[in-house]
Structure 1
Amino acid sequence: MSSAPPPGLDPERLRALLDRELPAGVAGPLDARLIEGGRSNLTYAVTDGVHRWVVRRPPLGHVLATAHDMRREHRVLSALHPTAVPVPRPVLLCEDESVLGAPFYVMDFVPGTPYRSAAQLAPLGAERTRAAVLGLVDTLVELHAVDPESVGLGDFGRPDGFLERQLRRWGKQLAASRGRELAGIDELHAALGRELPVSPAPAVVHGDYRLDNVLIGDGDRITAVLDWEMSTLGDPLTDLGLLVMYSTPLDVPGSVVATTATAEGHPPAAELAERYAARSGRGVERLPWYTAFAWFKLAVILEGIHHRYTLGQTVGAGFDRIGELVPLFIEHGLTTLQEG
């Protein structure tokens, strides 16, 4: 049992709620622990000694409601759970802030492992690593095959003008993070705007789809896709572009940016794109644009972290090296766009 409850979760208040809301109630006192590795919302593993659940809530302190929308995450899980897309079963949504101090939702615990680095994949060996990553593509195809209207997500986003809004949004993020000159980033942003693709039919988009946002279980199958806070209706190829970017080997120091692409057996990015195209029926001729956009987006995110670090607002292992990575991401973005 934990010696003290983790910050942001009161086991007694949560137990009272679950006792009221669950048909079978709760078997005993709750034990809770914070699951490390989340980048934004807080995730806890909770058990009463018989059942296991996971609780998701916004970060502690003041946050923008739109950035940490528990109702939205709970809604997409509820919609996708009956489909072929593996997601945890949502148990309940609580918007009463008197329980845990913020809205939160509870879902079933799903066994599996999130692989965040090539070193973590190494014990699987080449064959099992390959199977897991190809499964990542196949699951993405399943997600993008879901008809949003048929699962009640027809109004989950605004697909019209999706790419223009995304580019504008990340341009604003860049402007808010500017603390130094970054050669090529304005050129990359402008070129992306000039060469905007025509989007295919909209789909449910995960928004941050990569290997460490899924759980791999027995048989090296994906047991759950997690972290739906960026999900919306939009251009499905943005998910593929991000996956291709994360599947490109990067020569970066330490584990500042998680990459599994160098693991033995990891399929090359081109093979992942070909598999997606063959199984989804979508053309990927403009994929270099989407991949370049992913490089741009990550450059902006990393520059934001670097900017906050220089202001003394962010501390942590490796944050002092993040600033060195940003030019590398810009260079990859420019090169990818030119190749396309």
Structure 2
Amino acid sequence: MPDTPPGLDLDRLRARLDADLPGTVTGPLRARLFEGGRSNLTYLLEDGEHRWVLRRPPLGHVLATAHDMAREYRVLAALHPSAVPVPEPLLLVEDTGPIGAPFYLMRYVPGTAHRDADELAALGPERTHALGLHLVDTLVELHSVDPGAVGLADFGRPEGFLERQLRRWGKQLDASRSREVAGLDALAARLAEALPTSPAPALVHGDYRLDNVLVGPDDRILAVLDWEMSTLGDPLTDVGLLVMYTELARRFDGVLPGAALAPGFPPAAELVRRYAELSGRDVSGLGWYTGFASFKLAVVLEGIHYRHSQGGTVGAGFDRIGELVPAFVQFGLESLKES
């Protein structure tokens, strides 16, 4: 394990942890950057006896409305006592002194994040199918949380949520433009023209998918991760996102490999039926939400592509991120036509 990965100063970090959480770290502190993250940076911290996870914003180009460590920490603290499985948050540091950026620390959860089909296929079709349905069940559990009961009544503004989301992601696209992508502006315009009426608001995750949860040896979800896009809003945005990831993995095999290709993983239609049955929500207009999910992820990938071009990314695979954007745009346009 590297002693000092990019984005951390272990000596200054150790001093801050000793001051704020005295006695927590009992041995020499070591850190490793988790691979696979494409936005906020996530590190495993160890002292030879204990493990923790640290999250901080990316290096380099950072959009003003993204990478809010305090917001992530707040939702974890609110949900940890609930039935929604999340890591236990331990410390939020909002000043930049220790590592050059705000960060938060949470307890390590020893689970598996299934990121590709080969890894998931080892479970076998029956277990894979059950895990896919459990992914939906956990999302329904999240959407059933009463925000006021967990201290998140002011975590977002549900009224006008979809309209504001479109404006926000349009601004983020403008802030990260470095090239022309065919169809991207047309997708944004068509989404605005067909804006649906939202159901009752709920706490939404914003990036809900199988590789953003940790799974235990009994195939149960131990923790939902990566809450940087969470807010109060339209719960169908999470469902549309899950459909997009599932369908893109199937339709663009080799462009966007994913766990949905594993034998037994439920098709998108089954995931949607499961959600509708358990939540009682109307999903007849889900095509719009799938198109919106495609637009959001296209913008996210463009932002990562921009940071990579400016030398502000850490890890492997960033040179290929820009190639994925047209696939998201095309699928978004197709979803809107179907809707």
TM-score w.r.t. the length of structure 2 is: 0.89
- Shift in Å, 1:67: 1.6
Q: Look up the match of 2:26.
A: 27
**Distance change in 2, residues 1:151/1:246 (3 Å):** same
User: Residues 169-184 of structure 1: matches in 2 within 5 Å?
Assistant: 169-175=168-174, 177=177, 179-180=179-180, 182=182, 184=183
Contact 1:12 1:29 in 2 (8 A): no
Q: Look up the match of 1:338.
A: 337
User: Residues 1-340 of structure 1: matches in 2 within 5 Å?
Assistant: 2=1, 4-22=3-21, 24-61=23-60, 63-64=62-63, 66-175=65-174, 177=177, 179-180=179-180, 182=182, 184-248=183-247, 249-252=249-252, 254=254, 257-303=256-302, 317=317, 319=319, 322-323=322-323, 325-340=324-339
**Distance change in 2, residues 1:155/1:246 (3 Å):** same
CA distance in 1, matches of 2:73, 2:238: 20
**Distance change in 2, residues 1:265/1:110 (3 Å):** same
More RCO (CA 8 Å, sep 6+): 2
Q: Percent same amino acid among aligned pairs?
A: 65
Matched residue count: 335
**Distance change in 2, residues 1:39/1:327 (3 Å):** closer
- Shift in Å, 1:3: 5.1
Contact 2:156 2:233 in 1 (8 A): yes
CA distance in 1, matches of 2:17, 2:185: 51
CA-atom RMSD in angstroms: 2.5
**1:150-170 superposed Cα distances (whole Å, 9 cap, x missing partner):** 111111111111101112223
Bigger Cα displacement from structure 2, 327-336 vs 151-160: 327-336
**Distance change in 2, residues 1:189/1:75 (3 Å):** same
SS in 1 for 2:122: helix
Structure 1: gaps of 5 or more residues: none
**Distance change in 2, residues 1:328/1:74 (3 Å):** closer
Contact 2:53 2:107 in 1 (8 A): yes
Contact 1:179 1:307 in 2 (8 A): no
CA distance in 1, matches of 2:102, 2:302: 30
CA distance in 1, matches of 2:291, 2:233: 18
CA distance in 1, matches of 2:171, 2:104: 31
Contact 2:301 2:321 in 1 (8 A): no
**Distance change in 2, residues 1:303/1:22 (3 Å):** closer
**Distance change in 2, residues 1:301/1:40 (3 Å):** closer
TM-score w.r.t. the length of structure 1 is: 0.89
Structure 2: gaps of 5 or more residues: none
CA distance in 2, matches of 1:303, 1:10: 29
Contact 1:207 1:232 in 2 (8 A): yes
**1:57-97 superposed Cα distances (whole Å, 9 cap, x missing partner):** 12234634542211111111000000011000011112232
- Shift in Å, 1:337: 2.0
**Distance change in 2, residues 1:89/1:197 (3 Å):** same
CA distance in 1, matches of 2:180, 2:210: 32
**Distance change in 2, residues 1:173/1:26 (3 Å):** closer
Letter in 2 for 1:217: G
